[in-house]
Amino acid sequence: RSKDLGGGEHCEYEPSLHASAEERRQLEFSLRKALERDEMVLNFQPVVDAHREEIVSFEALLRWQSKDHGFVSPAKFIPLAEETRLIVPIGTWVLQQACIEAARWPSHIKVNINVSPEQLIEPDFAPTVVRALAQSGLEASRLEIEVTESIFMRDAQVAGAALEEVMALGCQVALDDFGTGYSSLGYLRKLRFSTIKVDRSFVQGAAQGSNESLAIIRAVVAMAESLEMSTTAEGVETSEEAAMIRSLGCNKIQGYYFGRPMTDVDARKLVEPKLPGTQISL
């Protein structure tokens, strides 16, 4: 049937496009209710020191178990939350919950929290961070905000100013998924990032023998060192990859090899001091 027949037969045209728009509408409807329905939960993934192999931080990663749609991947709902600006209330919830959880860990363990550009350009961003810290009692120096290069695509001035505000509070800021965006290196001069996170694609590439990936990791590590920033390699899955990353001079490692994203209870168990008397007595 050709399109020019017209009349109420739209379902014949591009059915896949139509279905995905409808799916999106339903997903958005559910996402709007997700927080009040208690469907969101944070997982925590260890970040370890590359040499001592001890946990130095956990990255908070959002999970959505929807009553309507089942488990929905962040790769799907985060972009939708950004487009609809639902990421603003959701992101505030993430900040509050992650800080509350981190305050339970020993004080040398930090927390990494992902923040979207839409959150940063809200005038209320820095006050939201201040409130999350105050409510949880978490020291500002234990919070590292993660942003991607996409924050420099639009409203770079506003986003940069917001990051400077949270840095002035004593928080750190990491540049996530480094090397996968479009931006220039210019902003590395302007903002004092604490950490550059080398994207998993370079780690995978180098592990599969790509000299280009290897060269890029080397260059990023050298650049970070001279800028007095640290490096974290993302997506390290094997002991071989961990050894390679260590030999390249990355400071921190994150990936399935050292730990998958886990529940708050499991994360807590990994870092809580072993109390005398809690061992099984024979």
Binding to Mg ion by residue 45, rule CB under 5 A? Answer: no
Residue from the set 62, 147, 174, 233 that interacts with ligand C2E by CB under 6 A:
62
Task: Please identify which residue in 144, 149, 176, 264 interacts with ligand C2E, judged by CB under 6 A.
Answer: 176
The one of Mg ion, ligand C2E, none whose footprint includes residue 261, by CB under 5 to 8 A per kind, is: ligand C2E
Cβ nearer to Mg ion, comparing 118 with 234: 234
CB-neighbour burial class of residue 48 (10 A; exposed 0-12, middle 13-18, buried 19+) = buried
Residues 262-281 that bind ligand C2E (CB under 6 A): none
CB of 232 to ligand C2E, least distance (A): 10
Site string for ligand C2E, 182-221 (x = CB under 6 A): ----------------------------------------
Contacting ligand C2E (CB under 6 A), which of 116, 172, 195, 231? 116
Q: With binding defined as CB under 6 A, does residue 237 bind ligand C2E?
A: yes
Alpha-carbon distances of 195 from 51, 223, 236, rounded to whole Å: 17, 12, 17
Burial of residue 12 (number of CB atoms within 10 Å: 0-12, 13-18, 19+): exposed
Judged by CB under 6 A, does residue 117 bind ligand C2E? no
Q: Which of 46, 232, 235, 250 binds ligand C2E (CB under 6 A)?
A: 235
Going by C-beta distance under 8 Å and a sequence separation of 6 or more, which residues neighbour residue 244? 206, 207
Closer to ligand C2E by Cβ: residue 48 or 94: 94
Q: Residue 230 in contact with residue 223, Cβ under 8 Å?
A: no
DSSP label of 262: B
The set of residues, in sequence order, having a beta carbon less than 8 Å from that of 253 and lying 6+ positions away, is 47, 48, 49, 50, 232, 233, 236, 242, 245, 246
To the nearest whole angstrom, how small is the minimum distance from the Cβ of residue 10 to ligand C2E? 34
